[in-house]
Structure formats: C-alpha cells, structure tokens
Amino acid sequence: MTERYDVIVLGAGAAGLMCAATAGYQGHSVLVLDHANKPGKKILMSGGGRCNFTNLNTTPAHFTSANPHFCKSALNRYSPWHFLELVERHGVEHVEKAPGQLFCAGSSKEILQVLLTECDWAGAEVRLNTSVTHVNDRPVAGADGGEGQGADPALVASAADGFRLRTAGGELHARRLVVATGGLSIPTLGAGPFGYRLAERFGLTVLPTRAGLVPFTLQPADKAWLAELAGVSAEVAAEAGGRRFQEPLLITHRGLSGPAMLQVSSFWRPGDEVAVDWLPALADPAAALRQARAEQPAAGVEKWLRGFFSQRLAATLAEHFGWRGPLQHQSNERLAQIAALLKGWRFKPAGTEGYRTAEVTLGGLDTDAVSSKTFEAKAVPGLFFIGEVLDVTGELGGFNFQWAWASAHAAAQAL
Ligand code: FDA
C-alpha cells in the first residue's frame, strides 16, 4: 500500500523542518524523511552548541553564488526579524555576541525544539532512519545507493504524476517533493551527495563543490614554527581571493583556524596565498616602532610586540623572523621591514581540512535551474530545492541558517 502526502520533504535539517512546518500550517499533509537517526544534527552542533541562528545584518552581499542575485527575493521576504519573532514566541533567550550575530543564551537544542514543536503544531510528521532508494521506480544514487547514473528524461516526464518514493519501510507518494538534504560538510552528521545526484537524474546542473568555512592546513616549514603556538589566538585581518576579514585567528596543532581563517577559506583557491595583517588596528607600525626606539632604546622588538600579542606569540614571532637586539641598533630601514612583515605576512596553505570539519559546502545545485521566487525546478514542476544543497553559501556569522529559513519559507508559500 502506498502512503500519500501532499508534500514530502527530504532532510530533517534546518531548511527541511522550517519548510515542513510552514507547509503544514497551510493545510498540506507533510512528511519529512531523514536517513539519520536524529533530526537537525547540524543545528545541535552549531555555534559551539549555542547555534548562531541568524544575523540581523543579513544582506545578499554576505552570500557567495554563481548568481549573486538569486538569494535576494527569499532574503527580502523572510528576514532575520521574522525568525527572531518565532524564536521569541517560543521563549528562547538569546544573546548578540558580535554585532548582528544572535546565539541562544542556553543551548542549540532550543532552536531544534522550536522547529520540531512547529512541525508538531502544523501536523507535519518527521520520520527518521529512512533512506529513499528509488523515485518513480528509477534508482537514485548517492550516499545511500552507489554512483550517480546521469540524467533520465523518462524520470522528468513521470514527475507530472507526482513523486513515488521507495524506502525500506514501503512506498510513499507526494504531489510535491522538496529536497533539503544540505551539502557535503561533516559526513558523520548525515551529510551526503544524495540531493545532487537526485538533481542530476532530473537533468539539472550541479556546479562543482568545495569545502568552505574550513581551517587551513600548513606547509611543513610554516607548521614547524606555528604548531608550537597551538591554542594561541590574535585579532588579525586576513585576505584571500580579494576578500578581507578582520577577526580572530587561532593557531591549532593542524594549522590555522578561527573566524578569520574560516572566512577567507571560502574565497581561497588551492595554490593561492593568504595574506595576514597581524596588526590591523595599527595603521603605521613603522612609525610606532621608531617612536618606541626613541622612548625605550634598550628594549627589543619582542618587548614591543608584547604590547599587542600574548608573550608566547610575541616571542615566537621575534624568534622566527630573527628580530633580535635592542631597538636602538635597528635602522629605519630595518624597522620598516619588520612593519611590512607584520602588516603583510603571507603563507601558502597546504590545503584545508576538507569536508571532515568544514561548516559549509560551496557550489551545489546551479541556481539557474530553480526559480528564485518559488524554489521549484524550472524543468520539473513539483520538485523543489532549498537550503545548502543550492549554490548559495553564506559567510560565517548566522547567515547560513538565515538562508535555510528564508529559502524554506519561500518554497513553502509555493507548495
Ligand atoms: P542540513 O545539513 O541542516 O540538513 C540536511 C539534512 O538532510 C540532514 O538532517 C541530513 O541527515 C539529511 N540528509 C542528507 N542526505 C539524506 C538522504 N540521502 N536521505 C535523507 N536525508 C538526508 N550556520 C549558521 O548560520 N550558524 C552557525 O552557528 C553554524 N554553525 C555550524 C557549525 C557546524 C559544525 C557546521 C557543520 C555547520 C554550521 N553552520 C552554521 C552551517 C549550517 O549548519 C548549515 O548551513 C545548515 O544546517 C544548512 O541547512 P540545510 O537544512 O540545508 O542542511
């Protein structure tokens, strides 16, 4: 016997749950399927367990996509204030950690609970531990079923009668199918390529993917001097791919992390260098060094650096770059060299930690295939894509969840 629903949502993550609840309130019968044993695993992990659930300063400029205009309509129609109103209605206390970045004052669990409660109130059912193997009798490959088989024109034609999904638990049918299976980041949290493979089976283009918001690994020469500073952080300005972010950098045993590195990682390409300004707040360190030389001629560069960095970092920078001897022995030219290195240190990452630790996946379903108003595939009526599976990626700071909420809300209006 086939179970019938108006809407089936694949993926009980941020976008899927939001869409399911919104569609349920509109009177649709809704089923959410997830192959994982728990819903919303990334929500639980996010923001260090406190979920940075939105950013009040959300604008399209904070998103990367082959089509930078695609995200505008949905973001306009469902703003951070809409989600904040929902969160406050459920009594979730929140804090603004950095300008615009809203986190739970308690735990990420509260955001997941808001979504599950909304699904419950809206009559949307969430079913876990369920993998889809076939759509309209055609196998769909991905994390749960081998390699992709390419576009299947007969599959597109069959979608006119809706979507028949085969699972181990039986057959399901929906008039509308919403794909909210997310990106590839952190496979241990349930991530996989199913959404991309399904899109390809329907003849939709999937753009190349890569890990974003991810720590860098270092070449052996840089690792040799930086690894001993594991745990040390400093406010820097980092630049790659033409984008600059002033945020903390964190040195780890494996490489360089912290918000500054995560942000630029999304704009970095293998082989590129990353530039680091260790003193972003100091416009003219050469002048500051000359002044220090006049005031404390017997002091060394290391002592001067301690005014800006932890003792360990100051000592290691001075040692590594060979900044020895009292300031009074340093020529103006030498002080200018030191200043230039501090303002523009460059390193060539060995790579990134990849999907294992990345917060997001860049690339994904080509937005040209989907309406920016309804999120319905232009070539396949009834098939919708929302959230991170699309080629829309936010910067660090709550933007990715805002995209999940906004795209889900827009799609739900059109179901
Ligand atoms: P999401 O990944 O949330 O959900 C996809 C769902 O689909 C999962 O439940 C998965 O199990 C399911 N699924 C996958 N394949 C399937 C299949 N074949 N069959 C059935 N189900 C399937 N963003 C932010 O704005 N603020 C933050 O604080 C953070 N913090 C953060 C920390 C960490 C560690 C990570 C990894 C990521 C973040 N993010 C974030 C990013 C944010 O979590 C992410 O952008 C959203 O969760 C994307 O929402 P989606 O619903 O699109 O995918």
For residue 88, how many C-alpha atoms fall within 13 Å in the half-sphere facing its CB? Answer: 9
Contact (CB, 8 A) for 324 and 254: no
Q: Whose CA is nearest to atom 11 of ligand 1?
A: 190
Task: Identify the helix (H) or strand (E) that includes residue 140.
Answer: none
ipTM: 0.99
Ligand 1 centroid–CA 149 distance in Å is: 25
Q: Whose CA is nearest to atom 30 of ligand 1?
A: 46
Ligand 1 centroid–CA 84 distance in Å is: 19
Tokens 């500073």 correspond to 229
CA 372 to chain centre: 20
Q: Whose CA is nearest to atom 43 of ligand 1?
A: 42
Q: CA 44, CA 120: separation in Å to the nearest integer?
A: 19
Domains of the chain by residue range: 3-211+359-414, 216-352
415 residues of the chain, pLDDT tens digit each? 899 999 999 999 999 999 999 999 999 999 999 999 999 999 999 999 999 999 999 999 999 999 999 999 999 999 999 999 999 999 999 999 999 999 999 999 999 999 999 999 999 999 999 999 999 999 886 655 555 678 888 899 999 999 999 999 999 999 999 999 999 999 999 899 999 999 999 999 999 999 999 999 999 999 999 999 999 999 999 999 999 999 999 999 999 999 999 999 999 999 999 999 999 999 999 999 999 999 999 999 999 999 999 999 999 999 999 999 999 999 999 999 999 999 999 999 999 999 999 999 999 999 999 999 999 999 999 999 999 999 999 999 999 999 999 999 999 999 9
Q: Which fold has domain 216-352?
A: Elongation Factor Tu (Ef-tu); domain 3 (2.40.30)
Closest ligand 1 atom number to CA of residue 103: 28
Ligand 1: does its nearest atom lie under 6 Å from the Cβ of 364? no
pTM of the model: 0.96
Show the DSSP H helices in 128-257 as ranges: 153-158, 194-201, 220-226
Closest ligand 1 atom number to CA of residue 50: 28
Q: CA 20, CA 7: separation in Å to the nearest integer?
A: 8
18, 22, 46: residue to mutate for ligand 1 pocket, most atoms within 8 A of CB: 46
Q: Which fold has domain 3-211+359-414?
A: FAD/NAD(P)-binding domain (3.50.50)
Closest ligand 1 atom number to CA of residue 388: 52
The partner residues of 179 in beta bridges, in order of sequence, read 10, 385
Closest ligand 1 atom number to CA of residue 131: 19
Ligand 1 centroid–CA 191 distance in Å is: 7
Show the DSSP H helices in 60-183 as ranges: 72-77, 80-89, 109-122, 153-158
Ligand 1: does its nearest atom lie under 6 Å from the Cβ of 51? yes
Closest ligand 1 atom number to CA of residue 408: 51
Q: At what angle do helices 399-414 and 14-25 cross, to 10 degrees?
A: 30
Q: Which residues of 399-412 are buried (b: 16+ CB within 10 A; e: fewer)?
A: bbbbbbbbbbbbbb
Structure tokens at 129: 């531990």
Contact (CB, 8 A) for 272 and 337: no
For residue 90, how many C-alpha atoms fall within 13 Å in the half-sphere facing its CB? Answer: 19
Ligand 1 centroid–CA 277 distance in Å is: 32
